[in-house]
Structures are given as structure tokens and as C-alpha cells.
Amino acid sequence: MALRRITAALAALALAGGPALADETCQSPYLPKLAGQEDYVYVWTLGIEGVGDGSDKLVTVRTNPSSPHYGKVVHSLSVGGRHEAHHAGLTDDRQYLWAGGLDDSRIDIFDVGSDPAQPTLWKTITDFEEETGGVVGPHTFYAIPGRMLISSLSNTKDRGGKTALVEYANDGTYIRTIWMPEGAEYGYDVRVNAHLNRMLTSAFTGHENYMRKLSDLLGDADAMKKFGNTVVVWDFHARKPLQTLDVPGAALEIRWALNPIHEYAFTSTALTSKLWGVFRKPDGSFEAVDLIDIGDPAKVPLPVDISLSADDSTLFVSSFMDGTVRVYDVREPRRPKLIHEEKIGSQVNMVSQSWDGKRIYIASSLLASWDGTSGDDPQFLKAFTWDGKTLTPTFEIDFRKEGLGRPHIMRFGQHGLMARAAVTGDARGRDH
Amino acid sequence: MSHPGRGIACVLLVGSLSVAGIAHEGSPEPPPRARTPGFDAPPPGSYELPPIQRLSPHRLLDERGREAPLLELEPGHLALVSFIYLSCGHACPRTTAVLQGMDRTLAERGLAGRVELVTVSFDPERDTPARMGAHRAALAPRGRWRFLTARDPASIDPVLADFGQDARLLLGPDGEPGPLISHVLKVFLVDSEGAVRNIYSTGFLDPRVILNDLLTLEPVGAAPAPPASAASPS
């Protein structure tokens, strides 16, 4: 029979509902959470000419310490060509991973549920720009029930920052395009607070900028004006913009607090190097508050990713140009306190943490044309444990030496929740 | 390759950790409390519900064991379709309770004749037509609420695949199928053309939102033209 069978009856509670507040801290609230030990980290990786096959690929890393292959690449699936592989997101049942390319807007959909150890390419969308009416650069892939909500970065008309939100059904069928509102046309991230029926979107820049070398871009005053300065508050159910908040300097990743009584979100601005809070006011509207500088803004550290712990107490911020991760105590969300700062490498980009906050993964690549701006161009995935005070290295993978490319976003997989397991015998006790 | 027994034990440990994570064990904060959603549902007609997916016709078994179409809607009518199994102790009863409230609301609003509730079991081996009928009787619906099951598991699989409703049989410690089926439970709003117009995650199943969605679609029921927002940027 086709009904998939898994062991671990207790895992049903994680899948079947319960509080179902969020996933491993920064995922859509509509995903079942992976709260235990992640068995795999899937790394969506940009190809580098002359490194391995030179193509974008999904790299699977074994991350369960009980495995003899802990900290090793156990699977790599090349999609052929370089498409500026960037972000990826799981569907609402964690069966599929949608992974986008910012250059030609290609979307590869991987089946990561049937065998979490060996993802397969299930479907590829190559007509995103045509189907969506001219949207370019699918960025965040955010699961909503039965659908994938996709924020984007650009458009076919002028390759600038005017862009849209797009929805696809889980089977890859296009549903609709919602252009960003007048005065807040740029896009980047999208995040939903289901308890408040509110959605936040942030704003980066268009294809003409993000495909240029960063060093050239920083010296082009006109180009530097073409970055977003807004965060938009939406009625999520109606998909209607309600408020445009002034958040100058390209707000990137957005993280809602996970506890439903915490009615706020964080974001960071890349160009102005600030941490912002977006707080719900007593009248139900929202305000954006400049909370704190991240490093020295004059040195343009370029904060690029943030990761909030499941208990809303700790916020990790990674900044690209100085290769540094900073950790803030945000239990008082309007008064963040820096509690740890550590240089990880000459450049870092994404930072992801496990649900229990004890394991931290950091990847090095931002964009093909921006990597290496600070000097050398190392490409790595580094794993750490976090005890509340110290990051302790556990393993590191050199993505150049392994012939893989530039590691970007990381998503977690687990046998206990997803494996097509025991009854068929082919996956029982599988250990990679 | 590890020993099979070791593999099972390992996965069970993962399950335990998952539950601990849900309970926020060790968190300095108390577990999040249940609360009334902090928003007003957008008014009917103030938004669009474009078709998400088109369903194929399916035939299942009604409460008397007779073959019956999954959907039998007159033009302009709507259905709320949910999948449950009667041994489910958590999400399914919660979903059914919300739908029971919807049944009463629809009757009070005079919509019961135009909106059908359909509850389908994805555990046909245990959920016989008679058991589904008894379940319906216990709920005493005021409107049209059908309870369907299938002849066998193979008959329900294509239905689940068509809706995109996942379901995984869980094995007990002995490696044999246990009583539980894991699933990300959803409720589907379907129009008379067989188009899914919204999907609700049971974690956020809000009767106010469902009612306004029904009222948004009810005057028409059929799929609208593609939204104008898909046009090129101006």
C-alpha cells in the first residue's frame, strides 16, 4: 500500500498537531516541527566553475552524532548549471524541499521525505518568470497549507527591485501573483504570524544589483540608492498590505517571536547594520523600532541572517563582511544585550539552530558575485554546539576541497519523522 | 548498515526528544498558553480565493456501505472536506469539534443547504461504514454532513494523493503497524467545480475565517477568472 509507514509512534504528536507553533525556530508555523536530533542538514549550494562539476546542487550532510558518517557529506545531487542557488523551503508536510535560483528563476523541487538520506529531484519549474507575469528571483519559500508562498526580488521589465509575492500549489501549479504595494515595491523575506493573521515582508534589491560584484556596487552611488527601505505589514488571510514601515538600509531576514503572547518580530538591515524590532501596538497596528547597532556600521559588516531561539530568548546574527556571529539576549526584546561575539571565518552568511538551540550550523556563501569581497573566498559549513555562552566546534566541511561549491541555506531532515521505513524493509535501521 | 533492532531503538529515542521539544522542556518561559486569535477575520468579499488545485472525481463508501461520490455538489454549493481516523486521539477530534460548530453555525445562518461537510476516514480497515455512521449519529448534525470510508487502504490512497493529504502508518516497538497514523491534518474548502479554494491547517482552524471564506464564495461557488494581479508590473 502507498500509505507510508514510519516507526516512532511518539513522533505522531509532532506531526499531528499539538501546539504546532513553529518548526526549528525560523520555519513556517504550518510545518510540523523537527524538535529532536536532526539526522541531516540539506545545504543548497551554488556551483563554482572549476570546482567539482561546477553546478548548483543539494548537498546532504549527516548530522546525527550516533552515525559513523557524522559530519560527512553522504549525498550530493547536482541540478546542472549555475542558477545562483540561494534559498530553499520545505512544504507543509516536509515531504518536498523547494530550492530557488536567483539568476534565471529556476526552481528545483526535491523529494526529501521518501528517503531523507538520499533526496531525489521530483520536479523543476523553469517558466516561473512567464507564469508569474514577470517576477524574477524567487527567494523565500514559505510553506502555507497546501501551498508554497514565495517572496521574490526583481522583475523582467527592468531587472530592478519592483517585485511580488507568488503562490504555487504543492504540486507545482501556479496560483497567483501579488505585486508589492506602491511605495514599498522591493521584496526579500516573507514571514507569517498565524495567531495575529499578520504577514511581514522585507526589502532588498533587484537583479541588476545582486548579480553585480559587491565591490563595484558599493562604488556606484546611483545603484546604491536602489535598495529597499521598508517593511510591509499585511493582512495574511486577505493578502492585503496594511502598513508600510520605514526601515532604511535593506531589511533582510524576518523572525517572528514563537510564543504567541510575544507579538513582535526582529529583522536586521544589511546596509545600515542595525537590529530592528517590529512590535504590535495596543491598537493592533505595528511600529518598527531601531534597537541596536550590529558591530560598527561604519565598517559595513553586512548582517545577513538572524536566528531566534525557540524560547524567544536568544538571537544569533551573522554578518558577512566581518565573518562574525553575534549572539544577543533578547528576553527584553526592546533592549537586546550582546552576550557573545565570535569570528567564524573571513565571510559567513546563513546561521541555523536546532529546536533546542544546542546545535548551530553556519554556512559561508552569500551570492556568487559578492563572495570573496573581504579578501579570500573560503567556502565551508561549520557546526557548533552552544551552551548559552560558548560556541564549541564539532565539525567542518570544506566545500571547495570536497568539490561542492558555495554553501548557502540549510534545512533539517530526520528519519524519525519522514523515513519511508520499516515495513518495506529497505530503510529499516538505515544508517549513513 | 546498522543492526535493524538498533535502528528502531534509535528512532524511538528521536520520538521522545520530539515530544520534549514540543513541551519546551528546559525553557525559561512557561509553555505558550492557548488564546483567542488576536485578529478580526477579514470581511467576506474583501479578498480573493483563487483555485489552488482541481480534484478528480472519487467514489467511496457511505455509512451504509454503498458506493457514493466523495463530492456531490449542485452548482454554486460548497464543501468542507476533512480526513480523520476514529482511533485518533488528538487532532482529529479537535477538527471534528470545530466542524460540529460550523454545522450549527451554517444551520443558524441558513447556509446548511448550500454547504456540505464531508468527513473521510483514511483508516478504512478499522473505520467501517457502520462505525462512521455511528460517529455521525453521535454528532447529530443539523445540516448535510456525510461520513465516508473506503473498501480498503488501496482505495483511499488515490484520494489522499489527489488532495495532497499526507498520512503515514506508525509502527509500534514490535515493528508491526500500531493504532496511530501521523498526518498534517487539513480541512479543504471545495467548490462545485471540484476546485480547492482554501486549505486550513487544523493548528489554526478558525471558524470565523472559514465562515467568511464560505460567504466570500457562496454567491458564486465556481472558479473566477484569473486574478488581475497576475498582470505584468506597471
* Residue pointed to by grid coordinates 470545530: B98
Q: Which of B3, B4, B21 shows the shortest CA–CA distance to B171?
A: B4
Residue B94: pLDDT band (50, 70, 90) is confident
Domain membership of residue B35 (yes or no) is: no
Contacts of A429 in chain B (CB under 8 A): 1-8, 10
Domain membership of residue B9 (yes or no) is: no
Domain membership of residue B2 (yes or no) is: no
Least confident stretch, B16-20, B66-70, B156-160: B16-20
Domain count within chain B: 1
Domain membership of residue B4 (yes or no) is: no
Residue in B4, B91, B199 nearest the CB of A428: B4
The grid coordinates of residue B162 equal: 489527489
How far, CA to CA in Å, does A148 sit from each of A226, A331, B10, B226? 28, 32, 32, 18
Min Cα distance A345 → chain B (Å) is 31
Query: pLDDT for A183-214, tens place per residue?
Result: 999 999 999 999 999 999 999 999 999 999 99
Domain membership of residue B228 (yes or no) is: no
Domain membership of residue B208 (yes or no) is: yes
* Cα–Cα distance for residue pair B130/A192, rounded to 1 Å: 42
A329 conformational bin, left if phi > 0, alpha if psi -120 to 50, beta if neither? beta
- CA torsion, ordered B216, B218, B221, B223, to nearest 10 deg: -10
The grid coordinates of residue B83 equal: 480526513
How would you class B151 by CB atoms within 10 Å of its CB: exposed for 0-12, middle for 13-18, buried for 19 or more?
middle
The 8 Å CB, 24+ separation contacts for A299-303 are A300/A218, A300/A271, A300/A273, A301/A273, A302/A270, A302/A271, A302/A273, A303/A252, A303/A268, A303/A269, A303/A270, A303/A273, A303/A275
- Pairing mode of beta strands A380-386, A337-343: unpaired
Domain membership of residue B215 (yes or no) is: yes
Residue in B167, B171, B233 nearest the CB of A422: B171
Q: How many CB atoms lie within 10 A of CB B121?
A: 28
Laid out side by side, the sheet with A190-193 consists of: A190-193, A198-201, A230-235, A240-246
Query: pLDDT for A393-405, tens place per residue?
Result: 999 999 999 999 9
pLDDT at B23: 23
Question: B18, B95, B198: best mutation site toward chain A, by most A Cβ within 10 Å?
Answer: B18
Query: pLDDT for A34-83, tens place per residue?
Result: 878 999 999 999 999 999 999 999 999 999 999 999 999 999 999 999 99
pLDDT at A33: 77
pLDDT at B26: 26
B213: domain range? Answer: 51-219
Q: For the domain that residue B114 is a member of, what is the CATH number?
A: 3.40.30.10
- CB-CB under 8 Å, B33 with A261: yes
Question: A428, A431, A432: best mutation site toward chain B, by most B Cβ within 10 Å?
Answer: A428
Smallest CA–CA distance from B32 into chain A, residue = A259
Residue pairs spanning A and B at CB distance below 8 A: 274
Whether the per-residue pLDDT at B22 is higher than 90: the answer is no
Q: Residue A215: CB partners within 8 Å, gap ≥ 6?
A: A373
Residues A11-424, CATH architecture: 7 Propeller (2.130)
The grid coordinates of residue A47 equal: 556551483
Residue A416: pLDDT band (50, 70, 90) is low
Whether the per-residue pLDDT at B30 is higher than 50: the answer is no
CA angle A93, A97, A139 (to 5 degrees): 115
Runs of H (alpha helix) within A203-357: 207-210, 214-218, 221-224
Question: B13, B14, B202: best mutation site toward chain A, by most A Cβ within 10 Å?
Answer: B14
Least confident stretch, A17-21, A22-26, A222-226, A337-341: A17-21
Min Cα distance B124 → chain A (Å) is 12
pLDDT at A414: 86
Query: pLDDT for A295-343, tens place per residue?
Result: 999 999 999 999 999 999 999 999 999 999 999 999 999 999 999 999 9
- CB-CB under 8 Å, A261 with B184: no
Query: pLDDT for A143-189, tens place per residue?
Result: 999 999 999 999 999 999 999 999 999 999 999 999 999 999 999 99
Residue B230: pLDDT band (50, 70, 90) is very low
Min Cα distance B190 → chain A (Å) is 13
Q: What DSSP element (H or E) covers A286? A: strand A286-293
Residue in B27, B32, B170 nearest the CB of A12: B170
Q: Model pTM?
A: 0.88
* Cα–Cα distance for residue pair A200/A193, rounded to 1 Å: 8
Domain membership of residue B6 (yes or no) is: no
Whether the per-residue pLDDT at B216 is higher than 90: the answer is yes
State chain A's mean pLDDT as an integer: 91
Contacts of A280 in chain B (CB under 8 A): 38
- CB-CB under 8 Å, A2 with B154: yes
Query: pLDDT for B142-201, tens place per residue?
Result: 999 999 999 998 899 899 999 999 877 766 666 666 667 777 789 999 999 999 999 998
- CB-CB under 8 Å, A313 with B41: no
State chain B's mean pLDDT as an integer: 78
Q: Are A32 and A22 in contact (CB under 8 A)?
A: no
Laid out side by side, the sheet with A351-353 consists of: A351-353, A359-363, A380-386, A391-398
pLDDT at A321: 95
- CB-CB under 8 Å, A93 with B170: no
